[in-house]
């Protein structure tokens, strides 16, 4: 099984990068490699079970905020510019989730459990439902 592991926050950024961001994230400095291995292990098990899942490449990150739907393209662009200026002024922009950033080592925490979540987009935003919980070894 996969062992529990320590993580810490790394850089901050947005998806998509630049222009009209929809999601603000905090990347992992410590723990990104272990989180990636855990994700790949889970994906192999889901494939073996014939269970469909989001197959986008895994990026170790914690979602901090979603953009409001009513902002429109111009509002998103302005929000994105403001957010990127805020990060650059503090030297905290990360290159990509899972690669850390300028402020490595902040906010240490432990991953002791894996939770398989279902995400359904509704009129009020996403609804997340835990489907399965699995403790990590040694935690």
pLDDT digits (tens, 9 = 90+) for 20-50: 777 888 889 899 999 999 999 889 988 999 9
CA 23 to each of CA 13, 36, 48, 129: distance values in angstroms, whole numbers, following the listed order: 8, 20, 31, 19
pLDDT of residue 92: 53
Q: How confident is the model at residue 101 (pLDDT cuts 50, 70, 90)?
A: very low
CA angle 25, 28, 34 (to 5 degrees): 130
pLDDT of residue 48: 95
Tokens of 15: 């998806």
- The full DSSP string for 87-129 is HHHHT-B-SSTTS--TTTTEEEEEE-EEEEEEEEEETTEEEEE
pLDDT of residue 103: 45
The answer to whether 78 touches 105, Cβ cutoff 8 Å, is no
Between the two ends of the chain, the Cα-to-Cα distance in Å is 12
| Average predicted confidence (pLDDT) for the chain | 79
Tell if the pTM clears 0.85, that is, is over it. no
Return the half-sphere exposure (C-beta side, CA atoms, 13 A cut-off) of residue 104: 11
pLDDT of residue 113: 92
Residue 17, pLDDT above cutoff 70: no
Tokens of 31: 């723990």
């Amino acid at each position: 099984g996969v062992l529990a592991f320590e993580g810490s926050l790394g850089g901050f950024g947005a998806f998509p990068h630049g222009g009209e961001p929809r999601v603000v994230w905090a990347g992992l400095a410590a723990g990104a490699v272990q989180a990636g291995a855990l994700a790949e292990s889970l994906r192999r098990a889901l494939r073996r079970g014939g269970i469909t899942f989001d197959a986008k490449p895994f990026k170790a990150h914690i979602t901090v905020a979603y953009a409001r739907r009513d902002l429109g393209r111009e509002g998103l662009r302005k929000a994105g510019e403001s957010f990127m200026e805020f990060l650059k002024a503090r030297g905290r922009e990360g290159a990509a989730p899972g690669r850390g950033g300028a402020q490595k080592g902040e906010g240490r925490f432990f991953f002791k459990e894996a939770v398989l979540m279902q995400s359904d987009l509704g009129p009020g935003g996403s609804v997340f439902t835990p489907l399965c919980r699995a403790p990590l070894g040694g935690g």
